[in-house]
């Protein structure tokens, strides 16, 4: 966990919390995708997220420029497999491993005094899955900003400016958590207090450090 500015400084009472999703709210495992695709196709597959799911076509998909029905055959061609779109969507959604333990209860407490927003690079396939699968935590978010709906993605400066404008917020009123250093750098450049999340407990540690007064009881063994 790395903060911009003073890492020991608690957030103000009117701070708006802005969260990335993957590896900040929900755990990710790209190995799960290859395992599921191997099972569906009958072909043993290996690879990395960066090689197959972070190419130019995937980035266009995250910007809402192509449809799920166009994206599925693209990935299948890259991997030299042939499965149904339904099988591909299921395998693609196996990326998500669940909401990090202890996070929902913290967000429930913070929601009493703070607005909580999501700003995520994602796509239509993933969105339709995680809003249903993790409905409990999503009910705590005041608004979700998704790259495929906004037609732009982090770390483009425009997406940060669009959120600020839509919410009528100043950058200094935001505490922004993300696991990608490029996105954090863009947030800092915009003027947001930005926290780089590392490790499975990174979000928990960041929230406890940024909002100690509200979350102190969760960390008190006598309560």
Give the angle 179-181-183 at the CA atoms, nearest 5°: 85
Can you name the residues that pair with 18 across neighbouring β-strands?
Answer: 117, 176
Question: How far apart, in whole angstroms, are the C-alpha atoms of residue 24 and residue 164?
Answer: 21
Beta-sheet pairing, 96-99 with 26-28 = antiparallel
Region 125-136: what's the mean pLDDT?
A: 98
Give tens-digit pLDDT for 92-116.
999 999 999 999 999 999 999 999 9
Classify burial at 122, counting beta carbons within 10 Å of its beta carbon; exposed 0-12, middle 13-18, buried 19 or more.
buried
pLDDT digits (tens, 9 = 90+) for 13-23: 889 999 999 99
**Cα 129 from Cα 57, distance rounded (Å):** 21
Give residue-wise pLDDT tens across range 160-195: 999 999 999 999 999 999 999 999 999 999 999 999
What is the model's pLDDT at position 13?
A: 80
Over residues 39-79, the pLDDT tens digits come to 999 999 998 999 999 999 999 999 999 999 999 999 999 99
Taking the C-alpha atoms of 188, 1, 147 and 52 in order, what is their torsion angle to the nearest 10 degrees? 120
Q: How far is CA 142 from the centre of its chain?
A: 15
All domains of the chain, ordered by start, with CATH? 2-27+99-219 (3.40.50.1000), 30-93 (1.10.150)
pLDDT of residue 156: 98
pLDDT at 221: 54
């Amino acid at each position: 966990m790395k903060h911009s500015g003073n890492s020991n400084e608690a957030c103000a009472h009117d701070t708006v919390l802005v969260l990335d999703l993957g590896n900040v709210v929900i755990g990710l495992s790209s190995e799960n995708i290859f395992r599921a695709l191997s099972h569906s196709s009958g072909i043993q597959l290996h690879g990395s997220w960066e090689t197959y799911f972070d190419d130019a076509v995937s980035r266009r998909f995250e910007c809402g420029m192509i449809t799920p029905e166009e994206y599925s055959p693209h990935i299948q061609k890259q991997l030299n497999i042939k499965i149904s779109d339904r099988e591909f969507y299921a395998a693609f959604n196996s990326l998500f491993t669940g909401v990090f333990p202890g996070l929902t209860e913290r967000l429930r407490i913070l929601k009493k005094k703070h607005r909580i927003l999501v700003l995520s690079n994602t796509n239509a396939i993933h969105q339709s899955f995680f809003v249903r699968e993790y409905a409990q935590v999503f009910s705590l978010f005041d608004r979700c900003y998704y790259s495929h709906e906004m037609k732009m993605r982090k770390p483009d400066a425009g997406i940060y400016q669009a959120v600020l404008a839509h919410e009528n917020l100043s950058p200094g009123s935001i505490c922004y958590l993300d696991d990608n250093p490029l996105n954090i750098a863009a947030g800092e450049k915009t003027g947001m207090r930005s926290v780089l999340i590392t490790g499975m407990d990174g979000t928990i540690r960041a929230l406890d450090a940024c909002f100690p007064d509200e979350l102190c009881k969760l960390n008190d063994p006598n309560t």
